[in-house]
Amino acid sequence: MRITPTADFMLEPILDPPIDANRDQGSSRDAIGLGQAAGKGLNTRHGTILTLEDISVSFDGFKALNALNLYIGVGELRCIIGPNGAGKTTLMDVITGKTRPSHGKAWFGETLDLTSMSEVQIAQAGIGRKFQKPTVFEALSVFENLELALKTDKSVWASLRAKLTGEQNDRISEVLETIRLTTSVNRAAGLLSHGQKQFLEIGMLLVQDPQLLLLDEPVAGMTDAETEFTAELFKSLAGKHSLMVVEHDMGFVGAIADHVTVLHQGSVLAEGSLAQVQDNERVIEVYLGR
């Protein structure tokens, strides 16, 4: 949660090389690196922002994730699809530190071991997550919501009293344009439409300038026009950020994704362009053909 007071946390590089030296040789590595989104000291030398290897999560013996391998490239926009219960949300829980894997490696860039970091540390390291239901502060204005998201190290009231720097004001203006809420800047967030609340929440992530954005079913409940705008927005964010989008809406997936990963029973069933995975017989059998 963005207003949680945060511990003093400095990112200490982990000195041991975390990932196999020969990992670039594996044909299963399928991250698409666009090479622009890395910044703020995150080491992404191999063009991969997120590396998940052999990740398993068990709930009372039930494997929600089962030896999952996934690689996301710097600046990539990856869609994750799959039937209900496939493990998509659990995957995001692992990346954000909400759920610990019982097995496997999870690296952010080359040096940050996500399995040993707290949720707050992971957020501060540059991974932002949007849940399905918008969680904006309804009584506060659009501007105040963005302001709070920017100043994560203070309580709500201390944050609202503390003065913004010129740079912070510029960042908020820029994000307001991006999410098309400039003309609603002083409106109470509670008065926005469902879609606008979703955009505001995306804006609250963007002011923090995360390198990797995780979005779980972002267009659920949106109008067609809002869904179309979300597609444009995500395409414009890719390159500057890396995005992982979980979505059931295939029209939306088709509009945004270069690369799709299909999850089934906690493992990767197929990966490729949407057309490729739509042609895959197993994918048709377990998901698309139903």
Ligand X SMILES: Nc1ncnc2c1ncn2[C@@H]1O[C@H](COP(=O)(O)OP(=O)(O)OP(=O)(O)O)[C@@H](O)[C@H]1O
What are the residues binding ligand X (CB under 6 A)?
59, 64, 82, 84-90
CB of 65 to Mg ion, least distance (A): 12
Does position 261 bind Mg ion by CB under 5 A?
no
Say how far apart CA 86 and CA 287 lie, in whole Å. 10
> What are the contacts of 174-177 at 24+ separation with CB within 8 A?
175/146, 175/203, 175/206, 175/207, 176/142, 176/143, 176/146, 176/203
Say how far apart CA 145 and CA 42 lie, in whole Å. 27
CB of 34 to ligand X, least distance (A): 27
CB of 266 to Mg ion, least distance (A): 13
Q: How far is CA 76 from CA 37, 91, 191, 234, in A?
A: 9, 17, 34, 11
Q: How far is CA 126 from CA 49, 180, 207, in A?
A: 11, 23, 11
The residue whose two tokens read 């707050």 is: 120
- Amino acid making up residue 95: I
59 binds, among ligand X, Mg ion, none (CB under 5 to 8 A by kind): ligand X
Does position 89 bind Mg ion by CB under 5 A?
yes
Decide whether 102 or 165 has the Cβ nearer to ligand X.
102
Decide whether 87 or 109 has the Cβ nearer to ligand X.
87
Does position 51 bind Mg ion by CB under 5 A?
no
Decide whether 31 or 57 has the Cβ nearer to ligand X.
57
Token pair recorded at residue 165: 């720097």
Stretch that binds Mg ion, among 49-57, 80-88, 113-121, 201-209 (CB under 5 A): 80-88
Decide whether 110 or 216 has the Cβ nearer to Mg ion.
216
Contact positions vs Mg ion (CB under 5 A): 88-89
